[in-house]
Structure formats: C-alpha cells, structure tokens
Amino acid sequence: MADSAEINASRGDTVLQIQGLQAFYGESHILHGVGLDVCEGEVVTLLGRNGAGKTTTLKSIIGMVSQREGSIRYRGQETIGLKSNRIARIGIALCPEERGIFSSLTVEENLYLPPVIAEGGLSIAELYQLFPNLEERRHTRQGTRLSGGEQQMLAIARILRTGARLLLLDEPTEGLAPVIVQQIGRVIETLKARGFTILLVEQNFHFASALADRNYVMEDGKIVAVVQRNELREKEALLQEYLGV
Amino acid sequence: MTTIFDLPVSYFGLQFLIGLQNGAFYALLSLGLAVIFGMLNVINFAHGAQYMMGAFLAWLLLDIAGISYWWALLLVPLIMGLLGVVIERAFLRWLYDLDHLYGLLLTFGLVLIIEGLFVSVFGSSGLPYEKPQALAGAQRIPLAMITGNERDMMMIPLYRLWIVAVSIVCCFGTWYAIERTRLGSYLRAATENPALVRSFGINVSVLITLTYGFGVALAGFAGVLAAGVQALTPHMGSNLIIVVFAVVVIGGMGSILGSIITSFGLGIVEALARIAYPEASGVVVFAIMIVVLLMRPAGLFGREN
C-alpha cells in the first residue's frame, strides 16, 4: 500500500484515517480490516464490484452500521465509539445510495432538513445557482415527486448547506442520464475547488477516475489496490482485472 | 315548536353537539396514538389508561391541593408528559427493533397495572368532578333563523361547547407543529427514515422520547376535559380507547388532518345513528371500520405501502 506519510506530506493534513475497520450487519461480517486515508481537499474514490463493501465503508464512517471495530479518525479524533448523530456534528455528511429523499417533506423542507453544524456551508442562493432545477421545483409538495436526477441533486445539495467538510457520496450517478452525470461531475469539481474533501463510491469507473486524486479498489470487504491519479495508465490492466471494466 | 319525525329541532341540535364532543375526544386521543405509532412503531394500548389518569389527576389536584380546573389543564399534561418520558426511557425503547406485538403487550400490561391500582385506591363507582363555574351554565340559542319559528329555542351546555372548541384548537396546533415547523419536519423525516435523520446530526432518540411524552400529555389533557363531563371511573379510558382504535384504523396512519377529520366525522355519524336508531350508535363505528378495511386497508387517509 502507498506510504501514507508520504501522501500526507504532499497533500496536507489527513482528514480521515481508517485502520483495521471491521463492520457487521447483525450476524454478517462485511468489512474485514479496511484501511484508507483521505487528505484535506482530496477527492478519493472507492471502486469495486457490487457487494465488495463500498457502501458499508461509507456507512461505517457515519456510524450507520450495527457494529464497528477498528479505528476511524476524523482530523485526529477517534469516532469509532460515537453515535451517528455525534459523528455528523463533527463535520461528516453522507449522501446515501438510495438518495433518501423524504416523501412527507416538501423539496424545500428536504433541503433544510440537515441542521447547520458549522460555518462555511453553501448558502441557499449558491445552492440554487449550482442546482437551478431545485429552485424551480422548491415548492413541490413531496420530495419524491422529483425526477431521479433532481432527487440526486437534492440529496447532494442538502448536505452542502450544513458546513460539513467531509462528504461521503454513494454512487451519485447511478441510473442517471449522461447529461445529468456530467452535471454532477461539474458539481463535484466545483466542490473540490471550494475545498471540500470527498470520498466517492462509484461503479462508473470513467466518471470516478476523471475526478479522483486517488482510487482505492475493494474486494470482499478489504482494500486490494490503491491507484494514484498518475498511475491510472500503468495500472489499467490491474484495474480491469478487479473491476471488469 | 318545530319538529322533525315528531322530535323537536333542538333535540337534533343537542345530539349533533354531543356528536361533535365525542369527535373532539376521538380527535385528541387518535392524534396522540397516530403520532406515537408513527415515531415509535408502538401501538400505545395504555393511551386510554393515560387519559383516565389525566382525569383522576385533575380530581386529585382539586380535592387535595385545591388546584383549580384551569391550572389542571396546564399541570396535568406536564405531569403526564413527564410520566410518558419515564415510560419511554424505562420500557418502550427496548422494544423498537421487535414486532409491534411486543409494544402492544407491554402497554397492555401497563393498562392492567394502572387500572388495577386505581380500582383498589378509588373503587369503580365513579367520582364526581366539579367543573368550573364559568363553564357550568348553558347558552340559550334561538333557532328561528333555521326553522322560522320564534318559539324554537335550544339550550347549549357551555362545557360541551368548550370541549369542542379546545379540541379544535389543540388539533390545529398539533397539525401546525408537525406539518409546518422545522421540528415537525424532523419528526416526519424520522418517521420515514430514522437512521438517515440521525446521520444528519439530529438526536432521534430524544425526538422519540419527546414524541411519546407529547402523546401521553395529549391523552392527559383530554382526561382533564373529560373530568368535567362524566363521572370518573378507572375504566373510563378502556371504554373510550376501543372506539378510538377503530377511528385510527378508519382514518389511517398517514395524515394528521385525516385523523382529525375522521374523528369529528365519526362523532357526528354516531350522533346521527343515535337519532335514527339508538341501538345502532354503539356499533356504527365498527361497521364502518369493517367496510373501510375491506375497501381501503390502509384507511381513508392512509398511505399504502
């Protein structure tokens, strides 16, 4: 695995440091010792086939699995023993794979739902600039009446307001039209430019690799490869083997 | 005097008012049940017993401490709300991951304990509660505008009118708090997907505790209102809550406004049944429940899922 001290030196402080992470859903043991680092301002992807443990890794970081062991440090603070609502308060936010738009809330209520936990979030005006569709549809009675693409944008937008600085995005392009995928790609670039740190789970390798500073490949609940941005070409064969792309 | 089917018009007016009054109690209690079920996934069988406790608490406050009805309206919901918080923290929170049946059994056990205690302390013969002077009288209402006959009059008991008015205000307040405020949006979201709401930094378990406390407080409040209109017995809640469960089933769990409308509607339907065929008034709600369950299993305003 790449020397994390070296990465830290070149990219600034480690925001997220995971070591020996084990995670369980009830009886089933999903993660078997995951380790990864994400540095300030980086976009890091988790790649891998279905069932490799990518979503579980994100959910473990935010505390949404029934049992976690090992170490997950956020800016040096150990979070493995914290409850999900405490973890959110220190600056981590999840955009879940199923998007999690609430049907009993209006679009605007969905947007305002996550409480502001720190300064530095995007203002509503900035969010509507980033996602013009949401402004047009903000009075829609049921959040789930939006199209799939709009729901995805809403799911991203609502965690940008809160001041969270580490964003966990779980397959934001899944099932969306190419033009929307491009739009989401531009949003992620904008967020990176604004200094957000992003851990991105993706099936769409070409989408992910264009954005990522570093790619972790997962298989059977473990990290099996790390590919830096400048190594994409030389490690193409390896990635193909793991991902079947 | 104007009559319809040989009955004076004022009789219809009074029955209608009694129907509204029953609807007012159904609304206060079914709201609490629905909100609790939505957040806790628990069918609060103790709701009737908590309503009864509210009534007895008002009686105790007056009898022992000389605390008036008006203060009881404020104090009883607070005390009952606190009791609800204790019950949730001590018992209910261990049951959320289990089947609904366990919550129902636990709260049913609470009913047996609470009612048993009250029977042994107060007996089951019924205690009178002196309602406040200001609400004791009746208002004469001329019905000439409706019937065209100057001699048609109706006496409206003020206390019944008061119950209907207070219930409407409370129901509207609850609806507003849940459907139109920030806190309400947390509650609605947590009802749908508590894990995700927690991941946004919201302490859902405190919300759940407060929700149960609020539901119990509402039941206690209804109990204070009831104290002024009927004799207090330890079983007054059980008798009422069975009908309220039917009301909740008919209205469905999905909508606050739906529960309120269903409650008042069924109160009036019962009153009409009492006029047309008094023997039917006790079963008409259950007959409607059967029809609704056959036609729309999720209830009139419920969401299918």
Annotate A213-244 with DSSP letters as a single string: SEEEEEETTEEEEEEEGGGTTTTHHHHHHHH-
Nearest to A221 by CA among A48, A24, A52: A52
Return the amino acid letter for B194.
P
User: In the β-sheet with A166-170, what is the strand arrangement from edge to edge?
Assistant: A92-95, A166-170, A197-201, A43-48, A214-219, A222-228
* Subunit contact B196:A109, Cβ cutoff 8 A: no
Q: How confident is the model at residue A3 (pLDDT cuts 50, 70, 90)?
A: very low
* Calpha distance B130→B66 (Å, rounded): 12
Q: Which of B191, B200, B203 sits opposite A114 (nearest CB)?
A: B200
pLDDT at B2: 72
Who has greater pLDDT, B119 or A209?
B119
* A121-162 pLDDT, tens digit each: 999 999 999 999 999 999 988 999 999 999 999 999 999 999
Q: How confident is the model at residue B268 (pLDDT cuts 50, 70, 90)?
A: very high
* Subunit contact B189:A88, Cβ cutoff 8 A: no
Q: How confident is the model at residue A84 (pLDDT cuts 50, 70, 90)?
A: very high
pLDDT at A239: 86
* Calpha distance A156→B17 (Å, rounded): 52
Contacts of B199 in chain A (CB under 8 A): 62-64, 84-85, 87-88, 93-94
B200 and A CB contact within 8 Å: yes
- CA of A210, closest CA in chain B: separation in Å? 29
Average pLDDT, stretch B105-118? 96
pLDDT at A242: 86
Nearest to A159 by CA among A189, A102, A115: A115
Who has greater pLDDT, A201 or B302?
A201
B282-286: list long-range contacts, CB under 8 Å, 24+ apart: B285/B243, B285/B246, B285/B247, B285/B250, B286/B246
**pLDDT of A9 higher than 60:** no
pLDDT at B281: 87
* A217-235 pLDDT, tens digit each: 999 999 999 999 999 888 8
Reported pTM: 0.90
Q: State chain A's mean pLDDT as an integer.
A: 92
Contacts of A114 in chain B (CB under 8 A): 200-202
- CA of B301, closest CA in chain A: separation in Å? 14
**pLDDT of B265 higher than 80:** yes
**pLDDT of A8 higher than 60:** no
Q: State chain B's mean pLDDT as an integer.
A: 92
In order of their start, the domains of chain B are: 3-295 (1.10.3470)
Average pLDDT, stretch B57-83? 96
**pLDDT of A107 higher than 50:** yes
pLDDT at B304: 64
Interface of B with A in 129-188 (CB under 8 A): 182, 185-186, 188
pLDDT at A223: 96
pLDDT at A37: 96
Q: Tally C-beta pairs within 8 A across A and B.
A: 60
Average pLDDT, stretch B239-257? 89
* B136-187 pLDDT, tens digit each: 888 888 877 777 777 778 888 999 999 999 999 999 999 999 999 999 999 9
Contacts of B195 in chain A (CB under 8 A): 64, 84
ipTM over 0.90: yes
pLDDT at B88: 97
Question: For chain B, what percent of residues have pLDDT higher than 90?
Answer: 74
Helix (H, G, I), strand (E, B) or coil at B157: strand
Minimal-distance CA residue of chain B relative to A65: B195
B198 and A CB contact within 8 Å: yes
pLDDT at B303: 72
Average pLDDT, stretch B34-62? 94
Q: How confident is the model at residue A27 (pLDDT cuts 50, 70, 90)?
A: confident
Minimal-distance CA residue of chain B relative to A94: B199
**pLDDT of B15 higher than 80:** yes
pLDDT at A11: 55
Asked if A44 and A212 touch (Cβ cutoff 8 Å), the reply is yes
Who has greater pLDDT, B11 or B211?
B211
Q: How confident is the model at residue B1 (pLDDT cuts 50, 70, 90)?
A: low
pLDDT at B12: 85
Complete DSSP assignment for B19-78: HHHHHHHHHHHHHHHHHHHHHH----TTHHHHHHHHHHHHHHIIIII---HHHHHHHHHH
